[in-house]
């Protein structure tokens, strides 16, 4: 059974020549607005039980409006939303908390609006207070709270009972790192137990960690929907295309895109004998060789690269802008070899390499070529003690009795 269905949702805001025209429309008369602004148009998707979907897009793309429509705080102009289950949402700081009431009083008020009885709240209040971890402030007026403290209480009450659908906007980005980890652990626990998740975030890592699907919104419409990693990679290309006037009209999907003045010829990890390696032992001394060909005159060339795990989460990345090795006025027709010597201190598993040829610090200035999954390689444990995780840290454990 589909737990959430969004079908053809559109939202328009109108302005009128006079308040009389607005009032006449409220009464049912067909009055033509002086101006019509659609912030959402023809947005459709379904969420199945236990599915996690990320919503990404630039500021003003319509993400927050979409969530408000789904939660019922804003009515759509067209389309419909069908919800089959209890929804818990964190859309804004404080969730409408009364600043003159204490955190505890606001919890009772908010949970009551969510449909829970006094007895149910009494039973959960201790856990809510413990999860928020704001100490004596729980019984102080909310107007004395920092934004991070408001997030703690808001999240604690919104997730005190596992909902069928959990909707989270960017509010969690305000909290401190400790509470972010704690919050995402609870979200992951809910998803594992069957809660459906709708997450709006600019944090690629959060989307890839929690969501199996993603939707890219821009100008109120769906630009791309599908596998979370593919949509996040496409978003990078989309931002670059929007930033650059000379970018081609159609973004090339797949592994490479850019303006083409300089392109990547080859990417490989090399062994001591110069042969290409697709498998490397943990801690290996290896050379990453990237060859770039300059096709047209350019002012500057910067190489960037990043290693990502199988979920698309960045493990490490840098570029020659940060290392102060920018190539100025490289010669058109020549190829340049970048040799990156490194210790492959990664945990066993499969990884991908992302490469970029740009003119300055980021691809948003001038993107000659961006290549996702330019290289896929495996890391295996050949001679290190057994360990878990994505990083090998050289270590030594010493044991002795206390006071000796």
The DSSP 8-state label assigned to residue 326 in this structure reads: P
Tell me which architecture the domain covering 255-380 has in CATH.
Distorted Sandwich (2.70)
| Rounded distance between C-alpha atoms, residue 63 and residue 83, angstroms | 18
Write down the pLDDT at residue 126.
Answer: 95
Q: Count CA within 13 A, CB hemisphere, residue 363.
A: 28
| Average pLDDT of span 365-374 | 87
Predicted confidence band at 253 (pLDDT cuts at 50, 70, 90)? very low
| Pair 55, 200: CB distance under 8 Å | yes
Positions of CATH 3.40.50.300 in the chain: 4-234
C-alpha closest to that of 197 among 168, 237, 158, 160 = 168
Q: For residues 201 and 189, which has the higher predicted lDDT (pLDDT)?
A: 189
| Average pLDDT of span 170-197 | 80
Torsion (CA) 172, 57, 217, 45 in degrees, nearest 10? -30
Predicted confidence band at 242 (pLDDT cuts at 50, 70, 90)? low
| Average pLDDT of span 9-30 | 70
Percent of the chain surpassing pLDDT 90 = 42
| Rounded distance between C-alpha atoms, residue 387 and residue 297, angstroms | 49
**Whole-structure pTM over 0.95, yes or no?**
no
| Average pLDDT of span 236-249 | 52
pLDDT reading at 22 higher than 70: no
Write down the pLDDT at residue 173.
Answer: 63
| Pair 295, 260: CB distance under 8 Å | yes
| Rounded distance between C-alpha atoms, residue 392 and residue 389, angstroms | 8
| Rounded distance between C-alpha atoms, residue 352 and residue 341, angstroms | 17
| Rounded distance between C-alpha atoms, residue 293 and residue 336, angstroms | 6
| Average pLDDT of span 165-181 | 75
Name the average pLDDT for the chain. 85
Kindly calculate the radius of gyration of the chain based on its CA atoms and give it in whole angstroms: 26
Q: For residues 14 and 48, which has the higher predicted lDDT (pLDDT)?
A: 48
| Rounded distance between C-alpha atoms, residue 76 and residue 9, angstroms | 6
Q: For residues 61 and 321, which has the higher predicted lDDT (pLDDT)?
A: 321
Q: Span 4-234: which CATH code?
A: 3.40.50.300
Write down the pLDDT at residue 248.
Answer: 37
| Rounded distance between C-alpha atoms, residue 267 and residue 141, angstroms | 59
Instruction: Look at 28-37, 96-105, 386-395 and tell me which has the smallest mean pLDDT.
Output: 28-37
Positions of CATH 2.70.50.60 in the chain: 255-380
C-alpha closest to that of 304 among 314, 347, 296, 312 = 314
Write down the pLDDT at residue 18.
Answer: 66
pLDDT reading at 246 higher than 60: no
Write down the pLDDT at residue 21.
Answer: 63
| Pair 390, 310: CB distance under 8 Å | no
| Pair 81, 70: CB distance under 8 Å | yes
Helix or strand or coil: residue 386? coil
Write down the pLDDT at residue 252.
Answer: 33
Strand-pairing partners, residue 305, are 318, 355
305-347, pLDDT tens digit by residue? 999 887 778 899 999 999 999 999 999 999 999 999 999 999 9
Predicted confidence band at 247 (pLDDT cuts at 50, 70, 90)? very low
Tokens of 35: 């101006």
């Amino acid at each position: 059974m589909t737990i959430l269905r969004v079908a053809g949702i559109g939202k328009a805001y109108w302005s009128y020549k006079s308040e009389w025209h607005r009032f006449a429309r409220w009464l049912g008369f067909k009055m033509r607005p002086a101006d019509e602004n659609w912030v959402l148009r023809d947005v459709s998707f379904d969420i199945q039980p236990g599915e996690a979907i990320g919503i990404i897009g630039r500021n003003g793309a319509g993400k927050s409006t979409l969530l408000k429509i789904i939660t019922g705080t804003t009515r759509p102009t067209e389309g419909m939303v069908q919800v089959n289950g209890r929804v818990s949402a964190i859309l804004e700081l404080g969730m409408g908390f009364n600043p003159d009431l204490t955190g505890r009083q606001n919890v009772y008020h908010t949970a009551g609006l969510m449909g829970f009885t006094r007895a149910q709240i009494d039973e959960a209040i201790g856990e809510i207070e413990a999860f928020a971890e704001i100490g004596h402030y729980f019984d102080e007026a909310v107007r004395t709270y920092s934004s991070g403290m408001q997030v703690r209480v808001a999240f604690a009450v919104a997730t005190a009972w596992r909902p069928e659908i959990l909707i989270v906007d960017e509010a969690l980005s305000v909290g401190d790192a400790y509470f972010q980890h704690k919050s995402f652990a609870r979200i992951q626990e809910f998803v594992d137990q069957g809660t459906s998740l709708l997450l709006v975030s600019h944090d690629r890592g959060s989307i890839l960690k929690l969501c199996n699907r993603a939707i890219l919104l821009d100008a109120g419409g769906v630009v791309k929907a599908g596998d979370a990693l593919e949509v996040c990679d496409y978003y990078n290309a989309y931002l670059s295309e929007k930033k650059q006037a000379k970018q081609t009209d159609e973004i090339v999907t797949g592994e490479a895109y850019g303006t083409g003045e300089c392109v990547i010829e080859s990417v490989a990890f090399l062994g001591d004998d110069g042969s290409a390696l697709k498998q490397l032992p943990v801690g290996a001394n290896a050379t990453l060789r990237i060859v770039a060909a300059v096709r047209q005159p350019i002012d500057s060339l910067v190489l960037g690269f990043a290693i990502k795990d199988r979920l698309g989460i960045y493990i490490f990345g840098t570029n020659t802008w940060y290392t102060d090795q920018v190539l100025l006025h490289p010669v058109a027709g020549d190829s340049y070899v970048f040799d990156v010597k490194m210790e492959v201190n990664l945990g066993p598993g499969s990884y991908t390499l992302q490469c970029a040829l740009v003119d300055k610090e980021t691809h948003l200035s001038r993107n000659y070529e961006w290549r996702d999954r330019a290289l896929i390689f495996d890391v295996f444990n050949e001679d290190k003690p057994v360990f878990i995780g994505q990083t090998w840290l050289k270590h030594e454990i010493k044991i002795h009795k206390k006071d000796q």
